[in-house]
Chain A
Amino acid sequence: MKLVIDERRCKGCNLCTMICPYRIFREGTRPNDRGIVIPELDRPERCTNCRLQGLYGRRLCGVCQMICPDQAISWEEEKPYEPRKVVIEF
């Protein structure tokens, strides 16, 4: 599972930065094309929900999604990791 912020919906209130127990959300630094400073994700792979949602079959912590007043936070299925052959050229 992957944590994503919907840039079309986020209004930049930074409530997620206040509530996340792992402090995964950080206040953004640069306004996007709508002039809104979207929070940045700091190593989102630490999120419990990302790691264990599939295992438990339900949403775990999820307080960021609940508190997000703009319904901008969600988890997406990640594409399964595909091993790729890396050709190293000397």
Chain B
Amino acid sequence: MSFKDWFREDRLPHIFCTGCGNGTVINCTLEAVEEMGWIRDTTVFISGIGCSSRAPGYITTDSLHTTHGRALAFATGVKLANPRLNVVVFTGDGDLAAIGGNHFIHACRRNIDITVVCMNNMIYGMTGGQGSPCTPPGAISTTTPYGMCEPVFDLSALAVTAGANYVARWTSYHVTELTKAIKVGLDTPGFSFIEAMVQCPTAYGRRNKLRQVSDMVTYLKTHALLLQKKQRMEEEGETVPADMFAVGEFVRRDRPAMGVLK
């Protein structure tokens, strides 16, 4: 058995563009699910709308491809009504942070026993590259033609503050770490949030001098700063470059959780 057995072979190849990181994140998630020993019949994948949210359609389990931003609300219903089901939510930065922001913070607050894998590509990919709440300052998108002028949403920090039991961030380049983080998330009772920074060469890179897939992956690789290193830099009074993002495990705790099978 490998994660490959979880794919709907008849639907591959998927619709993602060349070099899109979403496929990698699906691989890592399925590998983690496989390592957990979960079975198809009791695993449910749920998603909203966007590139990331097409993922459940390629997986052989029961899956729910819902409306924009509402995946977590649907997942809440599924998990509470049948706690025997293992629920994993795929979502993106626009889906989760913009239209679904309210559902996100409340799912964290309820600490409901689901795992959320957020593919943060810093852009609205499916609609053709509009600015999202996670588009870095200065970045060009079709709706920010003069550079993004709004600050970004730090989704992991938000999840920590709102009360999630497990929060981690990696990039689609760090496949091994990402897989491990997702596995810990699946294993943790309560709300687990894993943010995967993914490359979007088509909608983001093309307009931001990162046209080649390798350029965009190198960008993620070089701008990822290990959380421990970041903390050490801060302690030592060094300035952390503003365009770098921390990766690693942000929190692992044991707050009371909802929807855990007793």
Contacts and interface: CB of A to CB of B under 8 A. Distances in A.
Interface of A: 8-9, 11-15, 17-19, 59, 63, 65-72, 74
16 contacts: A11-B13, A11-B17, A13-B19, A13-B20, A13-B213, A14-B213, A66-B28, A67-B172, A69-B20, A69-B27, A69-B172, A70-B12, A70-B13, A70-B14, A71-B7, A72-B13
Interface stretch (B162-170, B173-181, B224-232): B173-181
A15 B13 contact: no
Q: Is the interface of A mostly helix, strand, loop or mixed?
A: loop
B217 A71 contact: no
B19 A69 contact: yes
B18 interface: yes
Contacts of A69: 16, 19-24, 27, 172
Interface residues of B, number: 26
Contacts of A67: 24, 27, 172-173, 175
A15 B14 contact: no
B214 interface: yes
B57 to A, nearest CB: 14
B31 interface: yes
A85 to B, nearest CB: 38
Contacts of A13: 18-20, 213
B27 A66 contact: yes
Interface string B1-14: 01010010000111
B13 A8 contact: yes
A63 B19 contact: no
Nearest to A12: B18
Contacts of A68: 23-24, 27
